[in-house]
Structure 1
Amino acid sequence: MRRRLLPALLVTAALAGCGGQAGTADGKFEIVTAFYPLQFLSERIGGDVVSVTNLTKPGAEPHDIELTPRQVGDVAEAKLAVYIKGFQPAVDEAVAQEAKDRSFDAASVVTLLPAGGEDDHGHEHEEAGHGEDPHVWLDPVRFSTIAGKLGERLAEADPEHAAGYRERAQALVAELGTLNTEFADSLKTCERRELVTSHTAFAYLASRYDLHQVGISGIDPEAEPSPQRLAAVAQEARETGTTTIFFETLVSPAVAETIAREVGAKTAVLDPLEGLVDAQGDYLGVMRQNLATLKTGLGCS
């Protein structure tokens, strides 16, 4: 990754000059975000006084993106880079090189869960021991904490508009509180609490609402699960009477469909919100669609 990124970094002097000092032509405060959920936060909290550039294009899988020279230039020019350290190596390196003092690491303001580990049946996840799980945005409570902290960070970086940032951040915190209540109430009583997913993106959601995530693949959705892991997941699905195997929007559903056929279950889309597929939707709408999918798949009353 370092060899791929360094040539891009060499051009940033020409692209950015003394990085972070330039504004947009209309004078807006420039923010660069690593992927969609952070774009959503930045746009909602920033309002019409910011310009937001997202490094992960719609429909792209964000885990292993590579940055173009122009995107590295965007990081260098931005007045604030919003990212989750440890999720996207190329973004981590660009921020460290070009925007270290003009960055907001969303993972630094909440408590993270470990990646991997063992499930309740002693099945070892393949990524066990490899750092922390970055998917914090799937927990509305943690996400609301990030929203409040980002509002403060923007107020500090752009004091002229501080009151507006804080006001919009608190409004979003209230909306996320309502979303949390909807999830908690809707998932309180369900026939099943096992959440069998194509990859382990939903640990925060499962932990918050007392569900048990069973991931076919690990944190990286592109990683191929071993035959042993496939057999273990199929066995657990049978033992728990699982009726729905959930797969995500940005990767192939083939493995989830294979497990579903083997255990006689249905499949349904559960969106990890790593990228926005429907340009007409937003974080809140997709999360509510996820809730409806969970209620059906888990038999919640």
Structure 2
Amino acid sequence: MNVRRLIPAAALAGAVALGATALTACSGAGATGSKDGKLGVTASFYPMQFLAEQIGKDHVKVDVLTKPGVEPHDLEITPRQTAQLGEADVVLYLKSLQPAVDKAVAQSGVKNVVDAATLTPLEAHAASGHGEEGHAHQDGDEHAGEAEGDDHGEAGTDPHVWLDPAKYAEIAKGVGAALEKADPNNAADYRKNTDELVGKLTALDTEFKDGLKNTASRTFITTHSAFGYLAERYGLDQEGISGVDPESEPSPARMKELQEVAKKENVSTVFFETLASDKTAKVLATDTGLKTDVLDPLEGITDKSQGADYFEVMRSNLKNLQKALGSK
């Protein structure tokens, strides 16, 4: 199963408290950073954008730094975007996922920041049941360093928390509380919208639990080791071809190991994602006689996505997992 290590409770509690209180500076009557009188929210990438839109609805104007079709890990921020960050009423991001965003937020001087990584415990996940670190970055990777916390040297924490509906719900609650503080005039609406979203995420969690309860295999192979939280939540084993970088080339030894895992664990499918090349998945599938299919890490929505929003794509992921694992 996936290796897990929780951030110390005291540190997490302090971080959550900071996240909840960071917005008090702009808790005057209806902060209005956008020109049309709405709360101006800048989101780092799609999962943060989705929360802002679902919770804020008509009260917010949401801008997103990572445009559709751009691989979030590779995002570069221009000086102009950094300056624009400083003009936002609220910035929503997830520290450790996008180093360029981490730097831009720090340089922008923006006061009202919500770091989703402070709103739910982060864990360290191995790419496989064999102990290979899925999020130990490649030599020279600029994700390294402070991007994944003080314990990065041993096993960096996994930032892909939104792929666990229960953890995503925890983040939604924190975002809702932040918007309430930033715009108290509309607090009741933010609270109502947060409750509705959390209810939908709880229902989605139940769908995954029921849908993956009885399967012929519990192991799945994927090009991008982004599904550690999902695997942890539903009792599955993630076998990642590469680590956090979906474009990195696996070693011949790793490919051979995965061929052996596929035979031993009754694996039928090699998953790839829509925002990265499927070349490696196809090579492994050809060598092992397996099929390929999409397992979307939901880092962005494009016309190639198997759904128009978070819920639709997650349900497509569930359907594809059920098919690959032999759901009974």
Q: TM-score, normalised by structure 1?
A: 0.89
Mapped partners of 1:281, 1:124: distance in 2: 34
Q: Which one is further off, 128-137 or 36-45?
A: 128-137
Contact 1:39 1:54 in 2 (8 A): yes
Q: What secondary structure does 1:45 align onto?
A: helix
Match of 2:132 in 1: 124
Contact 1:35 1:275 in 2 (8 A): yes
Contact 1:123 1:232 in 2 (8 A): no
Q: What secondary structure does 1:125 align onto?
A: coil
Contact 2:89 2:112 in 1 (8 A): yes
- How big is each residue's C-alpha offset from its partner over 1:146-196, in whole Å with a ceiling of 9 and x where there is no partner? 101110011011111111111101100000001001010000000111011
Mapped partners of 2:276, 2:47: distance in 1: 18
Match of 1:262 in 2: 287
Alignment of 1:68-107 (within 5 A): 68-107=78-117
1:292 aligns with 2:300: no
Give the drift of 1:96.
1.3
Contact 1:140 1:180 in 2 (8 A): yes
Q: Which one is further off, 253-262 or 126-135?
A: 126-135
- Match among 68, 82, 85 for residue 58 of structure 1: 68
Match of 1:204 in 2: 229
Q: Which one is further off, 135-144 or 21-30?
A: 21-30
Q: Which one is further off, 226-235 or 33-42?
A: 226-235
- Match among 182, 187, 195 for residue 212 of structure 2: 187
Contact 2:216 2:325 in 1 (8 A): yes
Give the drift of 1:23.
2.3
Match of 1:8 in 2: none
- Match among 105, 110, 123 for residue 120 of structure 2: 110
Q: Which one is further off, 98-107 or 179-188?
A: 98-107
Give the drift of 1:125.
3.1
Give the drift of 1:104.
0.3
- How big is each residue's C-alpha offset from its partner over 1:52-72, in whole Å with a ceiling of 9 and x where there is no partner? 001000011000210123321
Mapped partners of 1:199, 1:262: distance in 2: 19
Identity %: 48
Give the drift of 1:100.
4.8
- How big is each residue's C-alpha offset from its partner over 1:54-93, in whole Å with a ceiling of 9 and x where there is no partner? 1000011000210123321221111111000011111001
- Match among 148, 168, 174 for residue 149 of structure 1: 174
Q: TM-score, normalised by structure 2?
A: 0.82
Contact 1:36 1:273 in 2 (8 A): yes
Contact 2:32 2:38 in 1 (8 A): no
Contact 1:234 1:263 in 2 (8 A): yes
- Match among 218, 227, 239 for residue 214 of structure 1: 239
Change (3 A) 1:275 1:290: same
Give the drift of 1:240.
1.3
Contact 1:201 1:272 in 2 (8 A): yes
Mapped partners of 1:132, 1:123: distance in 2: 14
Mapped partners of 2:326, 2:126: distance in 1: 27
User: How many residues were matched structurally?
Assistant: 280
Q: Which one is further off, 224-233 or 149-158?
A: 224-233
Q: Which runs of 5+ in 2 are unaligned?
A: 1-25, 137-153
Contact 1:137 1:143 in 2 (8 A): yes
- How big is each residue's C-alpha offset from its partner over 1:203-222, in whole Å with a ceiling of 9 and x where there is no partner? 01000000000000001212
Mapped partners of 1:293, 1:123: distance in 2: 26
Match of 2:34 in 1: 24
Amino acid at match of 2:210: D
Q: Runs (4+) of structure 1 moved beyond 2 Å?
A: 20-23, 122-130
Contact 2:55 2:193 in 1 (8 A): yes
Aligned-pair Cα RMSD in Å: 1.7
Q: Flag the structure with more relative contact order, 1 or 2, with Cα contacts below 8 A and sequence separation at least 6.
A: 2
Q: Which runs of 5+ in 1 are unaligned?
A: 1-19
Contact 1:112 1:133 in 2 (8 A): yes
Match of 1:10 in 2: none
Amino acid at match of 1:61: E
1:281 aligns with 2:308: yes
Q: Which one is further off, 144-153 or 70-79?
A: 70-79
Q: What secondary structure does 1:72 align onto?
A: helix
Give the drift of 1:29.
0.4
- How big is each residue's C-alpha offset from its partner over 1:226-248, in whole Å with a ceiling of 9 and x where there is no partner? 22211111211121121111111
